[in-house]
Amino acid sequence: MPPPIFKPRRRLTQNRLKYGIGLTIFIILTYLYLFPSSPVLRILSRPQTPSPHHTTASNSTLGFQKILVLSTRPSWRTRGLHAAAAHTNLDLTIPNQALPTDELITAFQSLGPSSVKHPLRGEAFNWLAHLDLMKLIAAQDYTTALILEDDVDWDVSIKEQMKLLSDAVREFTYAAPEEEGPYGERWDVLWLGHCGEPTRRDTRRLEYFDASVPAMGNYSGWAARYHDGLSEGVRVVQRAVNPVCSFAFAVTRRGARKILKWAGKGENEAYDIRLMQGCKEKRLSCVVVNPELMHHYVPPREFGHISNVAEGNGRASEAEEEEFERIMGNTANVVNSTRCRALFDSTCMR
């Protein structure tokens, strides 16, 4: 008599195998759901041996070949900027820029099909001025340049901040040791001063400690709603997908040329929005630090001051500079404002 065949046991073994495979898949999917992206890179502290890039990142141009300032004329903006630069030993260059004609502004406003957004006059004026600086960078063949708007402000510890940032950007972009410059070369735009950038837990990013970070409870402005992915005392470097405002941003030689091609054809409501669109669509390789290192200084609002862009749109400012220039304003999200330290011996974070 042949031995019995235990088919139920075989069926049970197959069921256990299927159950084990299913459980493994469930565990993997659960992990990917909870941790949906690449691991967060984290620099817990400064290296014990100072990086060779720190000296360059803390020089008079913060490690860039030039610091160029976008400005149309001497004003309270440039006077405060010069005072801040002297206080932190920065070397700024304010190129003389020819004002665009009304005909050129009108022509630029109308670029592109009717289906896209078009800039108002003030935005178009600002846009053309930024493009002029990109042309200068390309013509002079600068390896890198930092672009500042003339009302920008920064922390008195900016050079220490940039040392930390140089390590973070190089590690985040996997810069090779032989790459020149404290921030490497694997980016087009490095956004230092902005109005906001969403930072979420599912974003590949590099976190690093910085004692100069504002307390999250004091962080103000449009960007405050996006800071659920930030921790106290920590800055984040990540790929930029929604940076707004162009207070301060650096470009590489390659980046300047790509911006001229991408932003030179208009087709949006403002220059910074066009750059943001390029970051989103990966037409530009953009890296951002969050919270921002630079922000714009605002005079006391009760004097009726408005921006140059608003003035260009026909909203004339009623403020006289001598009325407010000797009265302290504020700078959002900068703990120890260099402008306020240099001009008023005080801090003025909003």
In the chain, where the domains are located: 46-298
- Give the residue-averaged pLDDT of 213-242: 84
**Checking DSSP bridges between strand 41-43 and strand 205-209, what pairing results, if any?**
parallel
pLDDT digits (tens, 9 = 90+) for 154-188: 999 999 999 999 999 999 999 998 888 999 999 99
pLDDT of residue 124: 92
Stretch 104-130: mean pLDDT: 91
Q: Residue 12: its pLDDT value, please?
A: 44
Q: When comparing pLDDT for 280 and 201, which is higher?
A: 280
- Summarize the confidence of residues 193-201 as an average pLDDT: 81
* Range with the poorest average pLDDT among 8-22, 107-121, 257-271, 334-348: 8-22
Q: Name the DSSP class of 346.
A: S
More confident of the two residues 313 and 31: 313
Phi, psi for residue 62 in degrees, rounded to 5 = 60, 30
Lowest mean pLDDT segment, chosen from 22-31, 80-89, 146-155, 244-253 = 22-31
pLDDT value at position 270? 93
Both tokens assigned to 180: 């020149």
User: Residues 270-290: what's their mean pLDDT?
Assistant: 95
What pLDDT digit, counting tens, does each position of 50-62 carry? 678 888 999 999 9
pTM greater than 0.75? yes
Question: What is the CATH number that goes with domain 46-298?
Answer: 3.90.550
Query: Is pLDDT larger for residue 208 or for residue 46?
Result: 208
Q: Is 37 a residue whose pLDDT tops 50?
A: no
Q: Which of the four pLDDT bands, split at 50, 70 and 90, describes residue 199?
A: confident
CA distance 279 to 110: 23
- 3-class secondary structure, 275: helix
Mean pLDDT of 320-338: 87
Q: Kindly report whether the peptide bond that precedes residue 4 is cis, defined as omega within 30 degrees of 0.
A: no
Query: Which one has a higher pLDDT value, 297 or 226?
Result: 297
Span of 46-55, 127-136, 292-301, 330-339 with lowest mean pLDDT: 46-55
Please name which of 241, 240, 248, 238 lies closest in space to residue 333, comparing C-alpha atoms.
248
Instruction: Check residue 29 and give its pLDDT.
Output: 44
DSSP one-letter string for 229-261: G--TTEEEEEE-SS-B--SEEEEEHHHHHHHHH
Per-residue confidence (pLDDT) for residue 286, from 0 to 100: 96
Residue 306: pLDDT over 70? no
